[in-house]
């Protein structure tokens, strides 16, 4: 059973009570906060510590969210960052000290140094400074000092200090050697496990492209939410006009019924239409929790959903802008969509998409990493052959320092040694090495095939968005003409009715519905055209630039 939480320790964001349908009738009196698209983008980037989406991804997949710390976390990763790869070449200081007392009895004097009872005190001290180089070599400077005091009968003195100074170099000549291999794989690489400086640099660049994708999607969703709210207001205005118009018609027929000049069915139908438009207006004000325009709902940048609801759309815009969800005001977009016809040069935008799309740049980096890993894997088809050289100076005396000491004997350079060796190791068959090479080749082929598929997908999506732009623009003109025709028809009926001429009642109600529907369809087509234009920029990789958003990476 879960324990009760201490509610007093929970921090609740400060916010006012939400505006709900109960406030729908007072929407005109609620204070407005006018906002431009540029202001919305500026607010979003200012508050965008977490690049949230409109699908509650921050709750479902919080570990996949891009944040302002994404690149810094990768740059400071102690395992996979560039600095982590460089740390393998840091100088290493090693120290060792050991003290030992031996008190033994032997059956044979030979084993006791001439005595059956062997007593001994020893000290051992090692200090080493080592460093790896980019060619795979390791250089070490080592001081070894030991003290031995024992009762062996053959000793020159009862106790003696010995000190040594080593200079050692180990250079791989085949496997593990070379500048290229070590920059790719690192000095401690295993087949299939590579974390050299070049690999780490590619990982850093991949993180940057992923952050750019997250920022692009974030900006796209801000734009989606802004135009969703714009449409919601326009749709609500159309529904309100229809409600007021139908209310006037109902009241007119109700007055006629009261004076026995009209039949009851006409008044009832007018009353039904009024409450129908009232219901639609209430939904246009409050909205429903349904899917709205957001990334990847049929298109990468989001297909316009055409769903109204001022309060619901306004809350979504507040959510993605990072401002309080409720503050007693209503955001009101004041920018108007452009109705100018835009024609894209296909060759230019197709070339831009291939060069600029961050997904393609990320995939090219993946291919580059796999190609480097293939080069590193081939190194494991070589046997291990290391050249090891050691130079030693020795000194021995009864004291460690001073005259007639081990250190003075060391400084005389009388005792010098040199050692060179070759270490060879060959795994018969190179089974693991061949597996690493074959795996790396398959990885290269896979990533190249994915790049080809991605390019085809992007060309398809770009084609679809260009076609959508043309479709939406034509629909914009068609729906505008439809709205004008419906308005002319209703105005003519209203004018006839105003002069006392009898009009067809069913025709009047139908004309009112047609005006409302055509008006909403016109603004829907207008926003569809705006979203489609934005999506063309997204598909060709220029959305951030066209939105005046500059991404600077360290």
Residue 166 pLDDT level (bands cut at 50, 70, 90): very high
Are 216 and 544 in contact, with CB atoms under 8 Å apart? yes
Q: Is the pLDDT of residue 265 over 60?
A: yes
Tell me what pLDDT residue 155 has: 80
Residue 1 pLDDT level (bands cut at 50, 70, 90): very low
Closest to 90 (Cα-Cα) out of 52, 42, 54, 138: 138
Q: What is the pLDDT of residues 216-261, one digit of tens each?
A: 999 999 999 999 999 999 999 999 999 999 888 888 877 666 666 5
5 vs 163, which has greater pLDDT? 163
Mean pLDDT, rounded, for 394-398: 90
Q: Is the pLDDT of residue 359 over 70?
A: yes
Q: Is the pLDDT of residue 19 over 60?
A: yes
Query: CA of 127: how far to CAs of 95, 165, 241, 388, in Å?
Result: 4, 10, 89, 20
Tell me what pLDDT residue 350 has: 95
Q: Is the pLDDT of residue 149 over 60?
A: yes
Residue 178 pLDDT level (bands cut at 50, 70, 90): very high
- Chain-centroid distance of CA 215 in Å reads 8
Q: Is the pLDDT of residue 2 over 80?
A: no
As a whole number of angstroms, the distance between CA 289 and CA 286 comes to 10
Structure pTM? Answer: 0.86
Tell me what pLDDT residue 236 has: 92
Are 274 and 282 in contact, with CB atoms under 8 Å apart? no
Between CA 545 and CA 79, with CA 59 as vertex, the angle to 5 degrees is 70
Q: What is the pLDDT of residues 512-545, one digit of tens each?
A: 999 999 999 999 999 999 999 999 999 999 999 9
With a pLDDT cut of 90, the percent of the chain lying above it is 60
Tell me what pLDDT residue 106 has: 73
Q: What is the pLDDT of residues 432-475, one digit of tens each?
A: 999 999 999 999 999 999 999 999 999 999 999 999 999 999 99
Average pLDDT of the chain, as a whole number: 89
Which letter does DSSP use for residue 24 in this model?
A: G
Mean pLDDT, rounded, for 112-138: 87
Q: Is the pLDDT of residue 12 over 80?
A: no
As a whole number of angstroms, the distance between CA 416 and CA 394 comes to 6
Tell me what pLDDT residue 112 has: 58
CA atoms within 13 A on the CB side of 400: 11
Which letter does DSSP use for residue 399 in this model?
A: B
Q: Is the pLDDT of residue 262 over 60?
A: no
Q: Which structure tokens are listed for 147?
A: 């003290």
Residue matched to tokens 């005190």: 121
Q: Is the pLDDT of residue 378 over 80?
A: yes
As a whole number of angstroms, the distance between CA 144 and CA 126 comes to 5
């Amino acid at each position: 059973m879960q324990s009760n939480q201490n509610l007093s320790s929970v921090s609740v964001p400060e916010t006012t009570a939400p505006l709900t349908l109960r406030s729908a009738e007072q929407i005109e009196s609620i204070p407005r906060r006018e906002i431009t698209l540029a202001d919305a983008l500026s607010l979003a980037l200012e508050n965008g510590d977490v690049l949230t989406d409109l699908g509650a991804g921050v709750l479902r997949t919080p570990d996949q969210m891009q944040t302002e710390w994404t690149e810094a976390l990768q740059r400071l990763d102690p395992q996979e960052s560039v600095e982590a790869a460089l740390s393998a070449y840091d100088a290493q200081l090693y120290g060792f000290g050991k003290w030992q007392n031996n008190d033994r009895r032997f059956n044979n004097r030979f084993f006791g140094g001439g005595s059956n009872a062997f007593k001994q005190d020893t000290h051992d001290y090692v200090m080493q400074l080592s460093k790896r180089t980019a060619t795979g070599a390791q250089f070490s400077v080592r001081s070894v000092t030991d003290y031995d005091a024992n009762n062996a009968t053959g000793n020159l003195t009862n106790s003696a200090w010995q000190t040594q100074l080593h200079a050692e170099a180990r250079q791989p000549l085949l496997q593990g050697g070379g500048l290229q291999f070590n920059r790719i794989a690192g000095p401690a690489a295993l087949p299939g496990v590579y974390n050299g400086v070049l690999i780490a640099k590619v990982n850093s660049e991949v993180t940057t492209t992923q952050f750019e994708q997250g920022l692009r999607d974030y900006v796209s969703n801000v734009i989606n939410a802004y135009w969703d709210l714009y449409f919601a207001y326009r749709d609500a205005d159309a529904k309100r006009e229809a409600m007021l118009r139908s209310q006037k018609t109902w009241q007119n027929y109700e007055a006629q019924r009261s004076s026995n000049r009209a039949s009851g069915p006409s008044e009832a139908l007018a009353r039904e239409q009024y409450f129908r438009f009232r219901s639609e207006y209430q939904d246009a004000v409050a909205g429903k929790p349904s899917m709205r325009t957001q990334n990847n709902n049929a298109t990468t940048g989001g297909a316009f959903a055409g769903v109204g609801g001022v309060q619901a759309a306004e809350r979504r815009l507040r959510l993605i802008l990072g401002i309080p969800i409720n503050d007693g005001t209503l955001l009101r977009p004041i920018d108007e969509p452009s109705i100018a016809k835009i024609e894209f040069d296909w060759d230019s935008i197709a070339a831009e998409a291939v060069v600029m799309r961050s997904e393609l740049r990320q995939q090219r980096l993946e291919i580059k990493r796999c190609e480097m890993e293939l080069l590193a894997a081939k190194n494991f088809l070589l046997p291990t052959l290391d050249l090891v050289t050691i130079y030693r100076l020795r000194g021995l005396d009864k004291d460690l320092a001073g005259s007639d000491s081990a250190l003075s004997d060391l400084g005389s350079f009388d005792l010098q040694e040199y050692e060179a060796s070759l270490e060879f190791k060959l795994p018969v068959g190179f089974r693991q090495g061949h597996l690493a090479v074959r795996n790396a080749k398959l990885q290269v082929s896979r990533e190249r095939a994915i790049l080809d598929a991605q390019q085809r997908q992007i060309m398809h999506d770009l084609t679809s968005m260009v076609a959508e732009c043309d479709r939406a623009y034509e629909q914009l003109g068609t729906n505008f003409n439809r709205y004008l025709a419906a308005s002319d028809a209703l105005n003519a009926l209203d004018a006839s009715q105003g002069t006392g001429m009898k009009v067809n009642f069913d025709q009047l109600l139908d004309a009112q519905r047609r005006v409302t529907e055509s008006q909403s369809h016109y603004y829907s087509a207008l926003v569809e055209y705006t979203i489609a234009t934005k999506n063309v920029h997204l598909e060709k990789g220029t959305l951030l630039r066209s939105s005046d958003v500059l991404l600077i990476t360290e």
